[in-house]
Amino acid sequence: MKLLEGKTALITGAARGIGKAIALRLAGEGANIAFTDLVLSEATEQLEKELQTNGVKAKGYASNAAKFEETKTVVEEITKDFGRVDILVNNAGITKDGAVKRMTEEQWDAVITVNLKSVFNFTRAIQPVMWKQAGGSIINMSSVVGVSGNANQANYAASKAGIIGFTKSVAKEFGVRGIRCNAIAPGFIETEMTAVLPEEIRKSWIDRIPLHRGGTPDDVANVTLFLASDLSSYVSGQVINVCGAMNT
Ligand code: NAI
């Protein structure tokens, strides 16, 4: 018996990186997959097909997670197409790094809106669906820098710390209907987001990791699977670091 047979998962920002790995991992355990990203492309069509090879329903939707009304509309469409949503993974995120003394208002607003407001947008839109189902699992992608802070990433760290406060509050509000909400705080994960960092910065991160390697998107997807499934049925309001012991 697969862990997520008959369940439907909605994953934001899944065209590549961690979101894509999560979509593939959950589909491998039998979940139907609705995923979003800013635009649909040949790559997202390929992903739909790859997901469907698991014998599940899979569909991509173009949606900007930072927009409140657009999110409401896409969640309505997904609920109509799939009939239900059991798992919500708020994964979409961006960086616009810089020292506070030089950070522009645009850099601040963009990161807070895409990373933090998007989590509110999707949780707000999915709430009536999960409430009616009397169950569900919401998983929010935070970061170790949301726990510890990071120089030159104050906007990003603030957005990821905000996600933690939001997660714990939602766990307390929604628990009464059997809905769980947890956050994952990945450390240094090798994706296109981190590939843009200069080699010496990447090396300095890896030197600080006791397991002495960057994490893979699959390392994060495995923890997401645990939180999505009934294996974690009594786990809610938690932040799980996936960081090779970097942040302990
Ligand atoms: P990525 O940049 O490879 O993928 C992010 C995806 O989100 C892209 O497909 C992008 O188009 C999409 N996206 C961006 N803005 C969006 C919006 N407004 N609406 C819908 N989709 C949007 O990034 P990666 O590395 O896969 O990161 C995924 C999540 O994990 C992010 O929230 C990131 O902050 C978080 N994270 C990543 C870490 C890393 O080391 N890669 C470490 C800690 C957290």
Q: How confident is the model at residue 101 (pLDDT cuts 50, 70, 90)?
A: very high
pLDDT digits (tens, 9 = 90+) for 156-185: 999 999 999 999 999 999 999 999 999 999
**Does residue 96 register a pLDDT over 80?**
yes
Q: Which atom of ligand 1 is nearest to the CA of 215?
A: 40
Q: Quote the ligand 1 centre to 41 CA distance (angstroms).
A: 17
Statement: residue 247 has pLDDT above 90: no
- Ligand 1, atom 44, lies closest to the CA of 143
Per-residue 3-state assignment (H helix, E strand, C coil) for the chain: CCCCCCCEEEECCCCCHHHHHHHHHHHHCCCEEEEEECCCCHHHHHHHHHHHCCCCCEEEEECCCCCHHHHHHHHHHHHHHHCCCCEEEECCCCCCCECHHHCCHHHHHHHHHHHHHHHHHHHHHHHHHHHHHCCEEEEEECCHHHHHCCCCEHHHHHHHHHHHHHHHHHHHHHHHHCEEEEEEEECCECCHHHHCCCHHHHHHHHHCCCCCCCECHHHHHHHHHHHHCHHHCCCCCCEEEECCCCCC
**What's the gap in Å between 7 CA and the centre of ligand 1?**
24
Q: In the prediction, which pLDDT does 197 show? A: 87
Q: Is the pLDDT of residue 248 over 80?
A: no
Atom of ligand 1 nearest to the CA of 188: 40
176 C-alpha vs ligand 1 centroid, how far in Å?
A: 31
With a Cβ cut-off of 6 Å, ligand 1 is lined by 12-13, 15-19, 36-38, 64-66, 91-94, 114, 141, 143, 186, 188-189, 191-194
Ligand 1 centre distance from Cα of residue 247 (Å): 20
| pLDDT over threshold 90, residue 193 | no
Q: Which residues are catalytic?
A: 156
On the CB side of 183, CA atoms within 13 Å amount to: 28
Q: Which pLDDT tens digit goes with each residue over 118-132?
A: 999 999 999 999 999
pLDDT at site 173 = 98
How much is the pLDDT for 205?
A: 87
What is the average pLDDT across 201-220?
A: 94
Question: Nearest 10 degrees: CA dihedral of 25, 27, 28, 31?
Answer: 120
Percent of the chain scoring above 70 in pLDDT: 100
Q: Whose CA is nearest to atom 16 of ligand 1?
A: 92
Quote the CA–CA distance of 196 and 247 in Å, as a whole number.
22
Question: Taking residues 106-120, what's their average pLDDT?
Answer: 99
Q: Which of 10, 37, 68, 144 to mutate to test the pocket of ligand 1 (most atoms within 8 A of CB)?
A: 37
pLDDT of residue 194: 87
Q: Ligand 1 pocket check: which of 38, 46, 120 to mutate, most ligand atoms within 8 Å of Cβ?
A: 38
The residue whose CB lies within 8 Å of the most ligand 1 atoms, and thus the one to mutate among 46, 148, 193, 194, is: 193
* CA gap 207, 133 in Å, rounded: 46
* Residue 19 pLDDT exceeds 80: yes
Question: What does the pLDDT average to over 212-234?
Answer: 98
* Domains of the chain, earliest start first: 8-187+214-241 (3.40.50.720)
- Dist CA 93 CA 160 (whole Å): 10
